[in-house]
Amino acid sequence: MPRCDSFGRELQAVLGYELNRPVAANELHRALGVARNTYYARYKEDNFPNPEECRRLAEYFDISFGKLLLVFEYLNLDELNSLVDDPSTGGLGLSGVATQARPRRRDRKGLAAMPRRTDTPRL
């Protein structure tokens, strides 16, 4: 079984969430630079994705390498913060990862704020 994030999501779901779009399996094997059969064989292994594969995916999809390491629990937040503060890791794509704020989602209206449909019976 492949490595999952803290919510039990696998790589494809995590990337879909980060990119805010669906990510197809053929896009993943292209990003990793492997053949389709190799990707599906790797996908079933316990250490998928490993840190090197996380780096390739981060470069391909232009997302933070440090964030992928954090999501798949290769690093904890303290280790990531120490890497961000260390000037020798500036080329790893880790700068600003731990301090970067996630954009707020738009406020969603609750059911009470929605207009009632007149063409349906009440429950």
Domain ranges of the chain: 11-98
CATH architecture of 11-98: Orthogonal Bundle (1.10)
Q: What is the amino acid identity at position 39?
A: Y
pLDDT at residue 91, rounded to an integer: 45
Q: What residues in the chain have per-residue pLDDT under 70?
A: 1, 83-112, 114
Token code pair at residue 117: 């449909």
What is the C-alpha separation between 32 and 123, in angstroms, rounded? 52
Q: Map residue 112 onto helix, strand or coil.
A: helix
Reference 55, options 38, 74, 36, 78; nearest CA is 74
